[in-house]
Amino acid sequence: MLKVDISLTRTGPLVPGVLFAAVAVFCGFNINWVWGSISPLTASLVIGAVLGNIGVIPAQCDEGLKFASRHILRAGIVLLGLQLSFNEVAKLGSRGFVAVIAVVAITFFGTQYFARLLNVSPGLGLLTATGYSICGVSAVSAMVGAVDGDEEDATYAIALVTLFGSISIFALPALGHLFNMGNVRFGMWAGSSVHDVAQVVAGATAYSPQSLSPAVIVKLTRVVLLAPLVAIMAYRHSHIVKRKTQTQNSAKVSPLPMFIVLFLLAVAVRTTGVLSDDIITNSKHIEKTLLAMALVGLGAGVNIKKLRLLGMRPLMLGVFSWTLVVATSYFTIRLIPLDL
C-alpha cells in the first residue's frame, strides 16, 4: 500500500500536463487531417506556444508538460529507430555514404560558424545546425533532450527548419529541372539537403516517381547519423557540466544518454527484419504522437516576447544555413558518377 501511495505521489502531479498535451496533440493531428501540408508536429508545437503565451494553461499542468518535453520526447526518439535500417545505408555505397557524411559535417559546423558571425546564441546555433544537417524537427528534439537545451532556442530552430524545409519542396524540383538533373541524382540531392522525411518524400515525388527511392535511402542514412552526432555533443555537454560542478556534490552526468543507446538498439532490431509491417506502421504512429506531445511541452515553455527580441538574426541564420546545405549537397552529389 505504501508503494502505491509513493507511486501516486510521484506521478499524480504529471497527469494534468500529460492530459493537456494529449488533447493538444489530438487537435494537431486534426489540423494535419484538414490541411495536409501542415505537419502534426509543427501544429502541436504552435498550439502549445500560443496557449502558453496567452496564459490559459493552468499552473497544475507545468510539471506534466516539462515531463513531456523531456522524457516523452526521448521515448519518441527511441521509436524513431524502428523506422530505420542499417541495410539502407549499405545500399547507398561507399561514395554515397561519404557524400552524405560530408554534407552533414559541412552543414553542422558551417551553420554554427554563421551563428557566431551573426551573434546568435550558441544554443540556437547548435539546434539549428542539427535540424538542418540531419532530419529537421526530430533532430532538434533529440539534441534538446541530450544537452538540456533551451525551449525558446528549440522553438526558433524548429520554426526555421519547418519554414525552409517547406520552401525546399517547391524550390528543389524547379532547380532540378533547370539544371537538367537525372531522376536518381535529383533524388539523392533531395535526400541529402531537405530537412524532414515527409518533405523529402514530397519534393522527390514532385520531381519524378523514380526519384523517391534514392531520396529516401539517402535521407534515412542522414537520420542514422543522428545517433553519433547527438552522442558526441552529449558527451561534450557532460564534460562542461562536470567542470562547472566539480566543487559540488552533484549527480554524475552520463556521457551517452540512454535514449541514444536504445535508439541504436531499435535500428538494429529493425535491421534484423523480425518486425512485421503492422508493428513498424503502428510504432510510427506512436512515435509521431509521443514527439507531438513533447513539442506541446516545448511550445508551452516558450516566451514569444523574448523571441521577438532576437530580431532578424535567426532568420538570416536560416537563410545562410539553407543555402549552405542545398549548395553543398548539390556539388557533392554531382561528384558521384551515375548513369541516371
Q: Is residue 340 part of a domain?
A: no
- CA 260 centroid distance within chain: 14
- Tell me which amino acid residue 223 is: V
CB atoms within 10 A of CB 319: 16
- Which range marks the domain in which residue 135 is found? 15-334
Q: Is residue 339 part of a domain?
A: no
Q: Is residue 3 part of a domain?
A: no
Question: In 179-257, which ranges are continuous DSSP H helix?
Answer: 183-193, 197-207, 212-224, 226-244
Q: Is residue 177 part of a domain?
A: yes
Q: Is residue 156 part of a domain?
A: yes
Q: Is 267 exposed, middle or buried (0-12, 13-18, 19+ CB in 10 A)?
A: buried
Number of structural domains, the chain?
A: 1
Q: Is residue 6 part of a domain?
A: no
Taking only the tens of pLDDT, the chain with its 340 residues reads 434 444 445 667 888 889 999 999 999 999 989 887 677 887 888 898 889 888 888 889 988 998 887 788 778 878 888 877 888 777 777 778 888 899 999 999 999 999 999 998 888 999 999 999 988 877 888 888 777 667 778 888 888 887 888 788 889 999 999 998 888 899 999 999 998 776 787 788 788 878 877 887 888 788 888 888 888 888 887 766 666 555 444 444 444 567 777 888 888 899 898 989 899 999 989 988 998 898 888 778 766 666 666 678 888 999 999 999 999 999 998 887 764 4
77-107: buried (b, 16+ CB within 10 Å) or exposed (e) per residue?
bbbbbbbbbeebbeebeeebbebbebbbebb
Q: Is residue 10 part of a domain?
A: no
Contact 228, 86 (CB under 8 A): no
Q: Is residue 189 part of a domain?
A: yes
Angle between helices 40-53 and 151-178 (to 10 degrees): 140
Q: Rounded to an integer, what distance in angstroms lies between the CA atom of residue 123 and that of residue 82? A: 29
Contact 96, 294 (CB under 8 A): no
